[in-house]
Amino acid sequence: PVSPERHAALHGPLLSWYDRNKRDLPWRRTRDPYAIWLSEVMLQQTQVATVIPYWERFLARFPTVKALASAPLDDVLSGWKGLGYYSRARNLHRAAQEVVERFGGKLPSTAEALLTLPGFGRYTAGAVASIAFGEEAPIVDGNVARVLSRLFEVEGLPGDREREATLWALASALVKGERPGDFNQALMEHGATVCRPESPLCLLCPVRDGCIAFKKGRVDELPPAKVRAAPRKLFLALAVWPHAGTLLFARRADKGLFGGLWELPAVEVEEDTSEAEATERLSTTLGAPLTLLGTLDSVRRQLTHRDLTLRLLRVSGDKRPTKSAAFQELRWCTPQEAEALGMSTAMQRALDAALGHGVMGGDAPVKKTPGRVARKATGR
């Protein structure tokens, strides 16, 4: 879909622009395929500034594919704590184990082989194959899609099948030639810093003369904005159950929200579920009769697709469970021991809130239980 003249007019200028203007990012200073792969996984759904310290800490903790593969999943999830989208970490761990088993601990060098590993979609396979191994493998992420949509006046909403096929075909044609990894990064960098969603810097664009959207005055129209669904409200009741200096923690099933992570044991409730009913559901889930002692503040968290309210219920019981069919694992831990568990930021906030109320024996008060759950949650 791209003539040789058009290819030359875009490929060379974008590479030259990248050489002059690229941001100095730590994963651009390494040739280690594992480190490059890790950066690509972390950068999915997460901003560069957030990723840098996580990437450095994670590499220090798991410096090689073999180190990552042999680490317990708990340690990996703990190293991911706060980055969100935890399925990325679980897939990273599983893929590392497969790389050790199937490829002798070295990442395969082609996008085709990389696609056979857990967590590798077309984008990640293309990014690692081109950047780490120099394969002429295309990539299309949000930045690249925006750049190509404007350069070639590609119509259609994000997610439209015909549009996606067109964008991948364009990316496949353009990446051919020298330095495919740098070219792919040039496209991404250009989209992140110049061809931005809002207020694009067309005056600084090195390929403005070849941009159809610029010529036609359609830069602000392309690509059309994706309509986001309103976040779904989700209410969880959490059991805050102290005993002898420990609290009860549960590890969720691998699939679903916060999959594979540790938490104060939680069940889904409705907005108007009473504390008594919520306690009953927690009793059933844990397989142990619970007594409700009081309620603590609720914790609110805004996730990408969910508006989450965590309701903290202070409970006790004579029978202390050590396993439950609803969870992978139950564990009684001190707050210090819990720091090493893989836990979501939302659950960490809930734990901090519970500890702030002195549930381990301090003097902070527990609210008396009202008849119904308070409608307004306290954000933290």
Active-site residues, by number, are 40
Residue type at 125 in one-letter notation:
A
SS3 sequence of the chain: CCCHHHHHHHHHHHHHHHHHHCCCCHHHHCCCHHHHHHHHHHHCCCCHHHHHHHHHHHHHHCCCHHHHHHCCHHHHHHHHCCCCCCHHHHHHHHHHHHHHHHHCCCCCCCHHHHCCCCCCCHHHHHHHHHHHHCCCCCCCCHHHHHHHHHHHCCCCCCCCHHHHHHHHHHHHHHCCCCCHHHHHHHHHHHHHHCCCCCCCCHHHCCCHHHCHHHHCCCCCCCCCCCCCCCCEEEEEEEEECEECCEEEEEECCCCCCCCCCEECCEEEECCCCCHHHHHHHHHHHHCCCCEEEEEEEEEEEECCCEEEEEEEEEEECCCCCCCCCCCCEEEEECHHHHCCCCECHHHHHHHHHHHHCCCCCCCCCCECCCCCCCCCCCEC
Residues in the chain: 380
180 torsion bin: left (phi>0), alpha (psi -120 to 50), beta (else):
alpha
Q: Contact at 8 Å (CB) between 264 and 299?
A: no
d(CA 11, CA 175): 8
Residue type at 126 in one-letter notation:
G
For 377, phi and psi rounded to 5 degrees?
Answer: -90, 150
Strand partners, 299: 310
Radius of gyration from C-alpha coordinates of the chain: 25
